[in-house]
Amino acid sequence: MAAKIENLSDLRARISWIVLSAPDQFPTTGSFSDDQSKNLLIAFDLVYAGFSLVEKRIKDSSRLEELRALLRDALVAYQHGDDKKGAHLLQDFQGMVFPDRFKEYEDRKGDSA
């Protein structure tokens, strides 16, 4: 069973996890199975389920629609075998919702390069 997305940080992390797992390196335990195409859908469903958190942060409806489109396009890209495009679209999504994520990471970890 996949963990529920409880906060925006969970959402950011789940998207990163998809970037590193899609299209065919998802786990095969818990909520996931040997069917990687199905796993891809499950993974995106998890993100969609957490989208309400984004709606609380971003009120601009056009921007929200842009974000939804990014997710849709990313899934389509993966389904069409364009892994790089799918990954980039997901990162574009992250960039719009979490523009300071790298800075926050460095602050949290004390790491900087």
Partner 1 sequence: MQRRHSCPRRSTCNGQIITRRDRTASSSTIDQGSTPALKDQHYVYVNGQQVAHYDESTTVDVLSQVTAFSNSNGTGDYVVQEGDTLKSIAQAVYGNASLWYVVAQANALNGDADLAVGLSLSIPAVTTSKNDSTTFKPYNPSEIQGSTTPNLPVIAPPPPPPKQHCNVIAAIVVIAVVVAASFIVGPLAAAALQSGIAGIAVGAAAGSAAGQLAGDALGTHQGFSFGEVFTAAATAVVTAGVGEYLNTVGEVGFVAHAIQGAAGYVAQDAVEKLTGEPAHFSWAGLVANSVASGVASEFGPTEEEVRAGTTASAFEIGSASLVQGVVQRETSSALGDNHVQSWESIGENAAGSYLGAAVGNAFQPNVATRQSSPYTFDITKGGQGVPSGDPLDGYRSSDFPSVASSNMYATYAGAYGPGGYREESGYASAEAPSPGADREVSELVWPQPGSSPDASYPTRGPLYNLGVGTIPVQVPYLAPSLSNEAEVTAEPSMLEASQGLARLSAWADVEAGISTLPVRAGLAPKAAPLPDVEALYDIQPGWFAQSHAIAAAGANDPTNTPFQRGVFTVLDGLALPMVLAEEAVRATGNAPAQAGVSAQWAARASLESNSDDSLTDISNSLCTGGNALFGLAGGAGFAESAAVDTVLGSKISSFSSEGLQLSGSAGNYTLRSPFYLDATPGQLNSGIPLGIRNPLVSAENSVASEAQAVSQVAVDESASSVQTIDKVSFGAPNTMAASIGKSGYASVQEFSDVAYAKYQGLVDEGYARADEALQSGKLQVPAGVSEKTVLGQFTDDYARVGMKDWLADEGIEEGAGQVIQVNRYLYDPAGTGAYRIPDVSFPGASQIYDATLGFKSWSTPQVRGFYQYSNGSAITIVRPVQLGGSYSVLVPR
For 110, the token pair is 């004390």
Close Cβ partners of 85 (under 8 Å, ≥ 6 residues apart): 74, 77
Residues 6+ away with beta carbon under 8 Å from 56: none
Task: Find the shortest distance in angstroms from Cβ 10 to partner 1.
Answer: 7
Does 100 contact partner 1 by CB under 8 A? no
d(CA 97, CA 84): 20
Residue 81 binding partner 1, by CB under 8 A: no
Site stretch for partner 1 (CB under 8 A), options 17-25, 47-55, 57-65, 67-75? 17-25
Q: Considering the rule CB under 8 A, would residue 24 count as an interface residue with partner 1? A: no
Q: How many secondary structure helices (H) and strands (E) does the chain include?
A: 6, 0
Judged by the rule CB under 8 A, the positions of this chain that interact with partner 1 are: 1-4, 9-10, 12-17, 19-21, 25, 27, 29-31, 83-84, 87-88, 91, 95, 101-102, 105-106, 108-113
